[in-house]
Amino acid sequence: MKIIDLKCAVIGSNPVIRIITDAGIDGLGQAEDSKPYLKPHVLFYKRYILGEDPTNVERVMLKIRRLGAFKPWGSAVSAIEMALWDIAGKAAGVPVYKLLGGKVRDQVMVYNGGVRFKMEGHQPEDYAENMRKMIALPHGFKIIKQGIAFHGGMHTHVPDFFYGALQTGSPHPNRGLLTEKGMNHIIACVEAMKSVCGDRIGLALDCGPGFTVPDAIRLARAVERLNIMWCEDLIAGDYTPYTFADAYAQITRSTSTPIHTGEQIYLRQNFKELIEKHAVNIIGPDPADVGGIAELKWIAEYADLHGILMAPHGTIDGVIGLAAHVQVAAALPHNYIAFEYPFASESWWYEIIKGLPATIVANSLIDVWDTPGLGVSFDVDKATKYLREDDQAFFD
């Protein structure tokens, strides 16, 4: 079997790739809906993989893996890797999890980091009400993550929140020392959310990046009594091309609140320091950014050897990304907690993709499906109408 073409189309907001073979089997991959600009980057790799046997996944990846980088520039490589596994599973007639070592669990737990309701304000009572709405969702999420401080609008709506000039522009550009007022406001909002969650729903906090180390320690210690699931991306994270392992280690050793990071990190090599230094308690690589699903599994296994937990990022990976998450999560070791549930940015995605269960999430769990490959495919007749003019040949 040989790869004869690599195509990319932006469908809705998500870049979708399709690898075509001379055996009539194709494979699908998908990048986050925040990255519609990725199409030329995906096609850059075409000349490296044409003529290769897609079922030799690692051989193909060795040709392109070193040509990616931290989020967002690992996305194209990651989507290609997903599609290779899709082909390999279809060719073997088995779901991808079988090729990753087999099933550890029949159901995979997910958490809510993206199914959102608009915030009506940024006071403690607004965070409490927003949490009530998320708890009432039919998915029955057992863990809910909410943005606070520099992640979300809190720092832009609370006067004198931190010592620094408010920046606009690129994702999460603000960083600085919190005022006492700002810190007290964060803690009050967390207390309000936890009062709604009680001991039934785990509350995780998406915090930054943007914290200084002293403030990160103060916050983590202040919420210890609330049994927070984790504080995420306090000092590095989304769209920061470094890990700050030594700084994270200072925070982690100073508190019993679990510390989490990793969504922006590309490749296993860049998790090595975080894991070996026990710099965090939980890591959260995104299979659509880290280099793919096998890369994520390797990192999970290495983390497990060091007593570090795994809660993968994935909120806007799309429904093909969801399928990839399900397959790899089924095969992860027991350090797995839950992955961040990817949902479609446009509701019609659930009409144009075949293979998803009618009810995807129930009681915060997804049943692992056994369809060959990733287990999903396009309803081409329905999907064609959503193709842009320059992508009309995507399904040819």
Confidence of residue 270 (pLDDT cuts 50, 70, 90): very high
Residue ranges of alpha helices (H) inside 17-119 are: 39-44, 46-49, 57-64, 75-92, 96-99
Classify burial at 97, counting beta carbons within 10 Å of its beta carbon; exposed 0-12, middle 13-18, buried 19 or more.
Answer: buried
Q: What percent of the chain has pLDDT over 90?
A: 98
Structural domains in the chain, CATH included, are 3-93+379-391 (3.30.390.10), 99-374 (3.20.20.120)
Please give the pLDDT value at position 169. Answer: 85
Confidence of residue 161 (pLDDT cuts 50, 70, 90): very high
Please give the pLDDT value at position 122. Answer: 96
Q: What percent of the chain has pLDDT over 70?
A: 100
339-340 vs 282-283, strand pairing mode: unpaired
List pLDDT tens digits, range 90-149: 999 999 999 999 999 999 999 999 999 999 999 999 999 999 999 999 999 999 999 999
In whole angstroms, give the CA distance from residue 234 to residue 213. Answer: 8
Please give the pLDDT value at position 348. Answer: 98
Across the range 17-24, mean pLDDT stands at 98
List pLDDT tens digits, range 303-348: 999 999 999 999 999 999 999 999 999 999 999 999 999 999 899 9
Q: Is the Cβ–Cβ distance between 262 and 274 less than 8 Å? A: yes
Query: CA dist 214 to 37, 217, 250, Å?
Result: 37, 5, 9
Confidence of residue 53 (pLDDT cuts 50, 70, 90): very high
Please give the pLDDT value at position 191. Answer: 98
Confidence of residue 201 (pLDDT cuts 50, 70, 90): very high
Confidence of residue 73 (pLDDT cuts 50, 70, 90): very high
Residue 250 has pLDDT above 90, yes or no: yes
In whole angstroms, give the CA distance from residue 225 to residue 242. Answer: 31
Please give the pLDDT value at position 170. Answer: 81
Q: Is the Cβ–Cβ distance between 269 and 294 less than 8 Å? A: no
Classify burial at 390, counting beta carbons within 10 Å of its beta carbon; exposed 0-12, middle 13-18, buried 19 or more.
Answer: exposed
Residue 368 has pLDDT above 90, yes or no: yes
Nearest one of 335, 356, 328 to 98, comparing CA atoms: 328
Please give the pLDDT value at position 153. Answer: 87
pTM over 0.95: yes
